[in-house]
Amino acid sequence: MILLQKALPMLLQNKNAVIYGGGGSLGGAVARAFAGAGAKVFLTGQHLQPVQKCADEIIAAGGSAEAAVVNALDEKAVGHHIDALLQKAGTVDISFNAIGVQSVQNIPLVLMSLAEFIRPINIAMETQFITATAAGKAMIKQGTGVILSLTATPGGIGYPLVGGFGPACCAMESFSKDLASELGQYGIRVVNIRSAGSPDSQVFQEAFTRVGEETAKSIFKKMADDTMLKKLPPMKDIANAAVFLASDLAASITGVTLDVTCGTTSALNYKVNYQEKFILFDQR
């Protein structure tokens, strides 16, 4: 039995949250955290089975959720879903987009095709524009609302072998700031969350299964070494950040990216060996 996360209880009571990509592991984690904080969640995805499964788990755990098939790259479909949500629930208070962007990585840019490079950029910007502006139109009439998005480490620093995913993250973060600057006057906050990648997410688990256990451990260690805290953020940390940003506790936060990378984008300090440093200090 899956229990709803209660780390931030009832911060989102009476709020309606729409989640695009709610059938994925991270989208599902955020949905459960929203529901655990009191929100009614409207999960969407291209296929009903995974989003319905997440909705059923939330309901079984005592939360409120509904599932629907919505293509987050289809402007009309997103608009119709928002209209239906408004008719049923009255408001759309939170919008969070967590759909995948189909990026090709681990290939040098000079060896990558244009199609491979541009695909994640196009998908990211199309879906962010469609879902965020649809929510924004509804929220303007309400005079309140929160629009959230999710990027990763390459949005904050140069990062090799990430193909078009890095530029996609940068574009999404810029779009989030620009949208915030336009919607703030209507009482709407727009915030992006930047993650270093969650090792317990389905995407990571599937990728590491393909490369084998030993290679996966090596990759995990390198990624963790790139962070200040020497660890990667689990999905619950991303979900908790989303709950906080969607709540009134973050009422004065907008137009920024909240960095939940364990320090990766502030500095890469994997070359620092403090044990050696302390030995040197002892000798002085």
Q: What is the pLDDT of residues 205-230, one digit of tens each?
A: 776 777 777 777 777 788 888 888 88
Under a CB-based contact definition with an 8 Å cutoff, are residues 27 and 20 in contact? yes
User: Got the DSSP string for 42-95?
Assistant: EEEESSHHHHHHHHHHHHHTT-EEEEEE--TT-HHHHHHHHHHHHHHHS---EE
Long-range contacts of 109-114 (CB under 8 A, 24+ apart): 109/163, 112/163, 112/164
Where are the domains positioned within the chain? 16-283
Environment class of 162 (CB within 10 Å of its CB; exposed 0-12, middle 13-18, buried 19+): buried
Region 90-113: what's the mean pLDDT?
93
Whole-angstrom distance, CA of residue 108 vs CA of residue 105? 8
Domain 16-283: which CATH number of 3.90.226.10, 3.30.565.60, 1.10.3720.10, 3.40.50.720: 3.40.50.720
Q: What is the mean pLDDT of the chain?
A: 89
* pLDDT score, position 89: 97
Q: What share of the chain is helix, strand, coil (3-state, %, to 5)?
A: 50, 15, 35
* Confidence bin at 273 (pLDDT 50/70/90): low
Question: Which residues face 258 on adjacent strands?
Answer: 193
Residue 280, pLDDT > 70, answer: no
Is pTM beyond 0.95? Reply is: no
Tally of CA atoms within 13 A in the half-sphere of 265 that contains its CB:
21
Would the pLDDT of 269 be above 80? no
pLDDT at 80 (0 to 100): 98
From the number of C-beta atoms within 10 Å of its C-beta (0-12, 13-18, 19+), residue 43 rates as buried
109-123, 194-208, 237-251 — which is least confidently predicted?
194-208
Q: Quick: pLDDT tens for 70-79.
A: 999 999 999 9
Residue closest to 163 by CA, chosen among 202, 209, 110, 232: 110
* Confidence check: pLDDT of 160 > 90: no
Q: What is the mean pLDDT of residues 233-253?
A: 96
